[in-house]
Amino acid sequence: MNTLFDKIWDAHVVTKIPDGPSQLYIDRMYCHEVTSPQAFEGLRRRNLKVFRPSQVTCIPDHNIPTLNQDKPIADPVSRKQVETLDENARFYGLQYFPMGHEKNGVIHVVGPENGLSLPGMTMVCGDSHTSTHGAMGAVAFGIGTSEVEMVLATQCVFQAKPKTMRISVNGALGRGVTAKDMALYIISKMTTGGATGYFVEYAGEAVKALSMEGRLTLCNLSIEMGARGGMIAPDEVTFEYIKGREFAPKGEEWDKAVEYWKTLKSGADAVFDKEVVFDAADIEPMVTYGTNPGMGIGIKGRIPSLESVEEAGRASFEKSLEYMGFAPSEKMIGKRVDYVFVGSCTNGRIEDFRAFASLVKGRKKAEGVTAWLVPGSWAVAAQIKEEGLDAVLAEAGFEIRQPGCSACLAMNEDKVPAGKYAVSTSNRNFEGRQGPGARTILASPLVAAAAAVTGVITDPRDLL
């Protein structure tokens, strides 16, 4: 019996080159402003049209500001990129949610919440975190600029078929432990290259118990351990999430779709190239201490000692700690925090803001902490208001900004200054990722909230 990945992949193969890649049909393509300009330029040069415009969705997100979106973008480079996407989307007649549109936001938040990302689909975008959409029970992965052009022109892409891996997390997550902690825990155990060459299916009781939003967070981070993508078999949680969304099937089409979606699971006898099993009871709230997402520890733990690091990795380990201003064997609890960022395609959904608000309620933002709370979309921003979370946050001294990628990668105005520490709910803590010289500690919205009200790294379980 084939795995879930095999079922979807094989159903989309148009042709296969012997001992080579497959020509894979793509159901949905997402384009943002950073990786698409050269691809559209390539189409123009060759006088080609977009092959299936109805299957392409364009959304600017990386370069847009999170304040004053009604005004022109101040930074000329960012403005040019957004304007170029605008021109291309309109010229080729593509579905387009521009800055300020009610459906604008981070592309990997907007797709699922509008029913554009569905089970059984193949999906691509010129962005590594396209793996997010795999949570719907789909094969979703990032591609390069030349491949973006290929998909625009043909609705197909050449890809070598990855190997399959199943990561099972058994048992139940503890109090204050989230999908983000599960992901950071898995990456810390697998390392940033541990899933290279594989497409990962997540399974086990702890994964099944996650909400749809938690699943999106988990699949989002698959790429950070080198995986080509991550996915979770669709179930009632998935169907309930999709039902009634604008671009989801309706009426008889819905019934037919669900009937098919129910077949999308790995059989009891499915064989994976690799199986990995973790126990949910071993996972606690996580924080990173270094400059890649694999350098993570439980919040009550200590940074590894130099002796515990393999000799081959010691130089980069020491370089990483030097950049962060940390030392081997130190505790992370009590470390100073200057900035807190909640948002991105990893943790910019309504559940993330509910979690943050639940912990800061009745407390006050710590003096000296700058907090950027950035919804993943205008729909999330509206829900924050509808649920009264904005009032809870305002009372605690926080304000909600406008949607966008924001400080996840500092391609906009939200840059953490050099040397400052940011507890961030985003996906990467590379050197300079959140601004030149910025020091990033990846964490869940609950850990971010605890840091925001105490001014230091704090175990959220002590405040719950």
Q: pLDDT by residue (tens digit) across 179-209?
A: 999 999 999 999 999 999 999 999 999 999 9
- Among 285, 295, 300, smallest CA distance to 181 is for 285
pLDDT at 143 over 90: yes
Residue type, 196: T
Mean local confidence (pLDDT), 323-339: 98
HSE-CB for 168 with a 13 A CA cutoff: 10
Residue 46 confidence class, pLDDT cut points 50, 70, 90: very high
Are 376 and 386 contacting, i.e. CB atoms less than 8 angstroms apart? no
Question: Tens digits of per-residue pLDDT, 57-111?
Answer: 999 999 999 999 999 999 999 999 999 999 999 999 999 999 999 999 999 999 9
Residue type, 273: D
Other Cβ atoms within 10 Å of 88 Cβ, number: 23
Spatial distance between the Cα atoms of 451 and 313, rounded to a whole number of angstroms: 30
Other Cβ atoms within 10 Å of 220 Cβ, number: 29
Spatial distance between the Cα atoms of 203 and 225, rounded to a whole number of angstroms: 17
pLDDT at 348 over 90: yes
- Among 210, 180, 223, 107, smallest CA distance to 445 is for 180
DSSP 168: E
Question: Tens digits of per-residue pLDDT, 238-279?
Answer: 999 999 999 999 999 999 999 999 999 999 999 999 999 999
Torsion, Cα of 273, 279, 283, 288 (10° steps) = -20
Given CA atoms 276, 282, 286, 292 in this order, what sign does their dihedral have? negative
What distances in angstroms separate CA 246 from CA 103, 303, 333, 400, one per listed residue?
11, 46, 44, 26
How much is the mean pLDDT over the chain?
Answer: 97
pLDDT of residue 1: 61
What distances in angstroms separate CA 383 from CA 206, 255, 375, 409, 419, one per listed residue?
27, 28, 10, 25, 35
Torsion, Cα of 157, 160, 161, 162 (10° steps) = -120
pLDDT of residue 7: 97
List CB contacts of 137: < 8 A, sequence separation 6 or more.
4, 119, 120, 231, 232, 233, 234, 238, 261, 264
For residue 372, list its beta bridge partners.
Answer: 341
- Among 135, 132, 130, smallest CA distance to 157 is for 130
pLDDT at 390 over 80: yes
End-to-end CA distance of the chain: 45
350-360 and 445-454 helices, crossing angle to 10°: 30
And the tokens for 130? 């396209």
Spatial distance between the Cα atoms of 399 and 370, rounded to a whole number of angstroms: 10
pLDDT at 145 over 90: yes
Residue type, 462: D
Q: Which domains does the chain have, with CATH numbers?
A: 1-284 (3.30.499.10), 292-462 (3.30.499.10)
Spatial distance between the Cα atoms of 282 and 178, rounded to a whole number of angstroms: 13
Q: For a pLDDT cut of 90, what percent of the chain falls above it?
A: 99
